[in-house]
Amino acid sequence: MLNTEVSRILGDIWRRASEEEKKKYRDHEELQREKYKHAMKLWRDEEAARNDLAKKAQDTRSELLIQQRREHQEAHHVSKMASGHAQFNAIATDDPHHPILSYAYETNYTDLYGKISVV
């Protein structure tokens, strides 16, 4: 039997049903709809709370990594300055299209092996 035939037969049965019999199904549908709406609201609220918590955790991790990186850079800079290996050089830029600056600045640090690292 085709789906269209089943739908036609069920439609005929529904049209012939009494209002009392239809009310039973309509009440059940309304109850199920309210349960669904309530469950979806709870799910959305929980999902929003989970997303907020995940975002806060990510922000906290990012802030911690940034703070650790800054502390590492500051400790590195202080140790290099204290050891006298830092020097400041002004280098003229060759880029004629540079919009604002005519000089670029870089700080060179020599490591234990005499290699220069630019910070």
Same domain, 71 and 89: no
The DSSP H or E segment spanning 91 is strand 86-92
Type of residue found at 94: D
Same domain, 21 and 58: yes
pLDDT in tens, 16-35: 999 999 999 999 999 999 99
Q: How far apart are CA 52 and CA 64, in angstroms?
A: 18
Same domain, 22 and 46: yes
pLDDT in tens, 83-111: 655 454 444 455 555 554 444 444 444 44
* N-to-C CA span, the chain: 78
Same domain, 93 and 51: no
Q: How far apart are CA 29 and CA 55, in angstroms?
A: 38
Same domain, 79 and 101: no
Same domain, 57 and 105: no
The two structure tokens encoding residue 108: 């060179």
Quote the domain boundaries for residue 22: 1-83
Please give the tally of structural domains in the chain. 2
Same domain, 52 and 106: no
